[in-house]
Structure 1
Amino acid sequence: MSKTLQYYNVLYVDDEIHNLNSFKACFRRDFKVFTATNVAEGLKILNEQEIHLIITDQRMPETTGIEFLESIIKDHPEPVRMLLTGYADIAAVIDAINKGQVFKYIQKPWQEDQLRQTILEGLELYTLNKTKKEIAEKLEENNRQMEFILRQSLLS
């Protein structure tokens, strides 16, 4: 990744405040960390900040992490999504991949080094996707310009 890690904004949504505090303590020097104790707070942050990677707990009081991730796809398609849970549930894993477009499924309790590596992989994916999108947009613009030039040539 060409940009410094501090450029990247990571949002972690979890109803357990001690998990949020631990995450922030571990990663605040690596990335700009945003935390939310519920989906409404998480959505507010998503609407106010450019978030590059989202980590959410699966089991929260008002909704599941999968439901949250699925609900934001339309308005926030760019961030890479990760699901963090203490429960091994194959149905949740399948739903996470199929509905929430989840990049990685992480078991609690997380190991700091493993989670850091997974986040780095997610941010690399974000960067690659963004670069791919920019290239596609440039190609589309070039195609429009080329079409215009060809039409002008044919008309003259």
Structure 2
Amino acid sequence: MAIGVLYVDDEINNLNSFKASFRRDFEIFTASSAKEGRKVLDSQEIGVIITDQRMPGTTGIEFLESILPVYPDTIRILLTGFSDINAVMDAINRGQVYKYLVKPWQNDELKMYIENALEIYNLRKENKDLAHKLQLANAALDALGRPGL
């Protein structure tokens, strides 16, 4: 199963445009609210989340901050039509955002950032798997009464 890319934006035209632009390159999921986005996260393996900053109810930063405890390895990208330095700082500090991009996006540029983010996600996943295997190997050594490495 491919690792998904989730785009959250309250503007349906943006969701449709994003899906049309990237569906051939990535497994794309879209959501028109933070609540819908959370449902996708709970049911799919998502490696990259791209969210609009200005949405009714919950901002993109608030959404990203809220999912950090449950999905810490997912790479987060904030996309907004407004260049606001406070939003940039909040995104970095609170939402642990990998990239902050201004709308309208350039397809080639955004595709590159998504590819890079998926690579980081896969490396994080691989590192966790290797650390877990090392723990199991050390536990097996301990059980045999031999000192670990």
Q: Same fold (TM over 0.5)?
A: yes
Under a length normalisation based on structure 1, what TM-score does the superposition of the two structures give?
0.89
**Aligned-residue RMSD, C-alpha:** 1.5
1:37-72 per-residue CA deviation (whole Å, 9 max, x = no partner) reads 111111111111111110000110111101000001
Q: Tell me by how many angstroms 1:140 deviates.
A: 1.1
The reply to whether residue 58 of structure 1 matches residue 44 of structure 2 is: no
Equivalent residue in structure 1 for 2:99, among 90, 96, 104: 104
What amino acid does structure 2 have at the position aligned with 1:21? N
Equivalent runs, 1:58-77 vs 2, <5 Å: 58-77=53-72
* C-alpha distance in structure 1 between counterparts of 2:26 and 2:2, whole Å: 7
Question: Which ranges in structure 1 are unaligned for 5 or more consecutive residues?
Answer: 1-5
Larger Rg: 1
Give deviations 1:95-139, integer Å, cap 9, x for gaps.
111111111111111000000000000001001111111111111
Deviation at 1:93, TM superposition (A): 1.2
2:84 and 2:63 map into 1 onto residues whose CA distance is 17
Aligned counterpart in structure 2 of residue 134 of structure 1, from 121, 129, 133: 129
**Secondary structure of the equivalent of 1:33?**
strand
For structure 2, the 5+ residue unaligned runs are none
For the pair 1:49 / 2:44, whether they are aligned, the reply is yes
Query: Could you tell me which residue of structure 1 aligns to residue 140 of structure 2?
Result: 145
Note the C-alpha offset of 1:151: 6.2
Poorly superposed stretches of 4+, deviation over 2 Å: none
Alignment-derived partner of residue 3 in structure 1: none
SS in 2 for 1:150: coil
- 3-state SS of paired residue (1:42): helix
TM-score, with normalisation over the residues of structure 2? 0.93
Amino acid at match of 1:34: F
- Helix, strand or coil: the match of 1:7? coil
Are positions 1:89 and 2:84 aligned together?
Answer: yes
Between stretches 60-69 and 75-84, larger displacement belongs to: 75-84
Alignment counterpart, residue 113 of structure 2, candidates 111, 115, 118? 118
Tell me if 1:37 matches 2:20.
no
The alignment covers a number of residue pairs equal to 147
Identical-pair percentage: 58
Q: Which has the higher helix share?
A: 1
